[in-house]
Amino acid sequence: MADEIYDLLVIGGGINGAGIAADASARGLSVLLAEAGDLGGATSWCSSKLIHGGLRYLEHFEFRLVREALAEREVLLAKAPHIVHPLHFILPQISGMRSPLMMRAGLFLYDHLAARKSLGASHAIDLRHDPAGIPLVPEIMSGFTYWDCAVDDARLVILNAIAARESGAHILTRTPVTSLAIENNLWIATLGAGRKFAARAVVNAAGPWVAEVAKLAPIDATKPISVRLVKGSHIVVPRISGADDAYTFQNGDGRVVFALPFEKSFTLIGTTEEPITGDPGEVAVTRAEEDYLIEAVSRFFRSAPTRESIDWRFAGVRPLVEDGSSSATEVSRDYQLELRADNYPPILHVIGGKITTYRKLAEAALAQFSPFFPRMQRSSTAATPLPGGDLGGLSFETWLEDFIRAHSTFAPAFLRSIARRYGSRASAIIAGARSQSDLGENFGADLTACEVSYLKSEEWAQTADDVLWRRTKTALHLAPDDRARAADRIGAWLERS
């Protein structure tokens, strides 16, 4: 017997699964989300941490995808101003690469495919006389500027999961779905602990494991899900440029490599594209990938990083639509939704997608279910702030000034950090405290016991990595020995609290 019956079972707690759960629950469906690991703990937190239209996708004529992504960029800036912020890009011109005419044409389309409300237009730049040219080698004299956005990808997942929970969804982490069966026109899911739940419909949003989860369903054995798995690796080094500019570099292999300001003191460099055939959960950054990224930016920066200067490296696996393209670079970044509902309850397989377009993917996914849930309400996610994003109509910077002024007994840098993570809900971290000394044990870099307690009770944090690397980036601001000590202390604290 199933313990409970839900309208929708969502398998996978990455950005697509969390986004679908948030939208579905807000529309009045009863939702159960089951994630085998931590929320956003695989592909979703290993991105380039950008909300962007995807300038390079124009070369592959993916105009629909770019238009949708550019429109969503504006939506997410308004929905989550605490974790999404504008990022000024420099695109240097280099001999032998894309011509200035091609770049101008691409940027013109980028500016005009969708309405711009918050971000500036692109334009040419003389890097000999602009501060953005200071960190670049003297041979680079010109280029272009344009705007996109940075995002805390892991927190974007968490905020969608919170939104889903607050609309009534049941969120289970570290709970794999081990089997799917059909009884009385319902899906019966067995979870890792042996509990059974029933659902009228299923969404398979398992990311790199979408094909494996599809095999759990006792249907369509002759129509397997086809997906191409591509590893993308990044490295993080001490800040190369003193300014907050981001750089898009054209590489000799036709790809582009980003160098992005990250966490105040660092530069994030990525990404690579390597096909994989093994376990997506066991990928790691290789020395060859480190060399590739270092070499790519060394052609442009006066002060180049070295392997020894790498503070952090991470790799994630992108589950892309298998479209027969000869190289990973050419594979579409668009999503594909495969609904199967012939003489059995519906199951929808989600393949591909980008963080930027997760909300539109969720709308499209739920549109597939409209015949099965005729009373489902219309989507409201475009106009609804994510948790912490309701700033009373103020810009984030104006709201932040008021927040700091209202809590003058706390260090401004500390308040900025928690405001960037939690937005209007940052007050919950310091509720009842008069100063930082009232917030309990300090685990390093101003991460306190009060914040860890909040992450455990409100954001499903169960391990030190959940706290130090995903929900915060505290680990990056600690020396290696201090990271290990903080991990031990937080792990012990989580166990006993």
pLDDT one-digit tens code per residue, 272-330: 999 998 899 999 999 999 999 999 999 999 999 999 999 999 999 999 988 766 666 66
Half-sphere exposure of 284 (CA within 13 A, CB side): 3
In tens, the pLDDT along 392-401 reads: 999 999 999 9
- The pLDDT, as a whole number, for residue 221 is 60
Determine the average pLDDT of the residues in 141-169.
99
Q: Give residue 97's pLDDT band: very low, low, confident or very high (50, 70, 90).
A: confident
Q: What is the DSSP string of 3-17?
A: S-EEEEEEE--SHHH
C-alpha pair distances (Å), 94 with each of 21, 109, 146, 316: 45, 21, 17, 30
Q: Is the pLDDT confidence value at 378 over 80?
A: yes
Asked whether residue 491 is assigned to any structural domain, the reply reads yes
Q: Which two tokens stand for residue 87?
A: 């990022």
Asked whether residue 67 is assigned to any structural domain, the reply reads no
Determine the average pLDDT of the residues in 193-214.
96
Asked whether residue 175 is assigned to any structural domain, the reply reads yes
Cis check for the bond before 463: say yes or no (omega within 30 of 0). no
Q: Is the pLDDT confidence value at 1 over 70?
A: no
C-alpha–C-alpha distance, residues 281 and 291, integer Å? 23
- The H or E element containing residue 350 is strand 347-352
If asked whether residues 364 and 233 sit together in one domain, one would say no
Asked whether residue 243 is assigned to any structural domain, the reply reads yes
If asked whether residues 141 and 98 sit together in one domain, one would say yes
In tens, the pLDDT along 30-73 reads: 999 999 999 999 999 999 999 999 998 998 889 999 999 999 99
Q: Give residue 239's pLDDT band: very low, low, confident or very high (50, 70, 90).
A: very high
- The pLDDT, as a whole number, for residue 38 is 99
- The pLDDT, as a whole number, for residue 220 is 64
Determine the average pLDDT of the residues in 180-192.
96
Q: Is the pLDDT confidence value at 2 over 80?
A: no
If asked whether residues 209 and 260 sit together in one domain, one would say no
- The pLDDT, as a whole number, for residue 497 is 81
Q: Which of 258, 287, 260, 261 is nearest to 274 (CA)?
A: 287
Output the pTM of the full model. Answer: 0.97
- The pLDDT, as a whole number, for residue 342 is 86
The pLDDT mean for the chain works out to: 95
What's the CATH number where 36 sits? 3.50.50.60
Q: How many domains does the chain have?
A: 3
If asked whether residues 288 and 253 sit together in one domain, one would say yes
C-alpha–C-alpha distance, residues 489 and 123, integer Å? 50
Domain boundary among 290, 306, 324: 324
C-alpha–C-alpha distance, residues 329 and 75, integer Å? 27
Q: Which two tokens stand for residue 136?
A: 């670049």
What's the CATH number where 309 sits? 3.30.9.10
- The pLDDT, as a whole number, for residue 75 is 98
If asked whether residues 146 and 159 sit together in one domain, one would say no
At 189, phi and psi to the nearest 5? -105, 130
If asked whether residues 408 and 440 sit together in one domain, one would say yes
Q: Give residue 223's pLDDT band: very low, low, confident or very high (50, 70, 90).
A: confident
Are 216 and 36 within 8 A, CB to CB? no
Asked whether residue 75 is assigned to any structural domain, the reply reads no
If asked whether residues 13 and 130 sit together in one domain, one would say no
Asked whether residue 377 is assigned to any structural domain, the reply reads no
Domain boundary among 263, 297, 324: 324
Query: Which amino acid is residue 189, in one-letter code?
Result: A
Name the burial class of residue 465, with classes exposed (0-12), middle (13-18) and buried (19+) by CB atoms within 10 angstroms of its CB. Answer: middle
- The pLDDT, as a whole number, for residue 350 is 98
Q: Which two tokens stand for residue 431?
A: 């509720």
Asked whether residue 348 is assigned to any structural domain, the reply reads yes
If asked whether residues 440 and 475 sit together in one domain, one would say yes
Rg of the chain over all Cα atoms, to the nearest angstrom: 23
- The pLDDT, as a whole number, for residue 219 is 82
Q: Give residue 95's pLDDT band: very low, low, confident or very high (50, 70, 90).
A: confident
If asked whether residues 238 and 206 sit together in one domain, one would say no
Are 150 and 89 within 8 A, CB to CB? no
Q: Which two tokens stand for residue 200?
A: 């009228």
332 or 71: which carries more pLDDT confidence?
71
Determine the average pLDDT of the residues in 350-375.
98
Count the helices and strands in the chain (H runs, E runs).
Answer: 13, 18
If asked whether residues 405 and 486 sit together in one domain, one would say yes
In tens, the pLDDT along 242-279 reads: 889 999 999 989 899 999 999 999 999 999 999 998 89
In tens, the pLDDT along 437-472 reads: 999 999 999 999 999 999 999 999 999 999 999 999
In tens, the pLDDT along 486-495 reads: 999 999 999 9
If asked whether residues 238 and 319 sit together in one domain, one would say yes
Asked whether residue 232 is assigned to any structural domain, the reply reads yes
If asked whether residues 402 and 492 sit together in one domain, one would say yes
| Residue range of the domain that includes 358 | 5-43+155-225+332-368
